[in-house]
Amino acid sequence: MVGLSHRTAPVDVLERVAVDGAAAAKLATELLGSEHVSEAVVVSTCNRVELYVEVDRFHGSVDDVSQILVERADTQRDEVLPHLFVHYDEAAVAHLFQVTSGLDSMVVGETQVLGQVKVALQRAQEQGSVGPSLNALFQQALRVGKRGHAETDVDSAGRSVVAAALDSVQRRRGGLAGCRALVVGAGAMARLSVATLATRGVQDLTVVNRTAERAARLAATVGGAWLEWDRLAAALPDADVVVSCTGATGVVIEERSVAAAAADRLPGRPYVLVDLALPHDIAPAVADLAGVELIGLSTLVEELADTPAAEAVEQVRGIVAAEVAAFLATRTAARVAPTVIALRSMATEVVSTELQRLDGRLPDLDPRVRDELVLTVRRVADKLLHNPTVRIKELAGTTSGADYADALADLFALDSAAVDALSRAAVPMPGPATPPVPGEGAR
Q: How many CB atoms lie within 10 A of CB 424?
A: 12
Residue of 246, 277, 284, 241 whose CA lies nearest to 262: 241
CA–CA separation, 305 and 293 (whole Å): 22
Helix (H, G, I), strand (E, B) or coil at 271: strand
Considering the candidates 46, 55, 189, 274, report the single residue annotated as catalytic. Answer: 46
Catalytic residue list contains 46: yes
The DSSP annotation for 18-75 comes to ---HHHHHHHHHHHHTSTTEEEEEEEE-SSEEEEEEEES-STTHHHHHHHHHHHHSSS
CA–CA separation, 310 and 324 (whole Å): 21
Please, are residues 124 and 38 in contact by the beta-carbon 8 Å criterion?
Answer: no
Angstrom CA distances, 199 to 156, 194, 196, 225, 258, stand at: 17, 9, 5, 17, 26
Residue of 202, 131, 118 whose CA lies nearest to 162: 202
CA–CA separation, 346 and 340 (whole Å): 10
Please, are residues 144 and 430 in contact by the beta-carbon 8 Å criterion?
Answer: no
Cis upstream peptide for 279 (omega within 30°):
yes
The pairing of beta strand 271-275 with beta strand 48-55 = unpaired
The pairing of beta strand 2-5 with beta strand 48-55 = antiparallel
Residue of 175, 188, 254, 186 whose CA lies nearest to 219: 186
CA–CA separation, 430 and 412 (whole Å): 30
Q: Where are the beta strands (DSSP E) in 277-381?
A: 292-296
CA–CA separation, 142 and 409 (whole Å): 35
The set of catalytic residues is 46
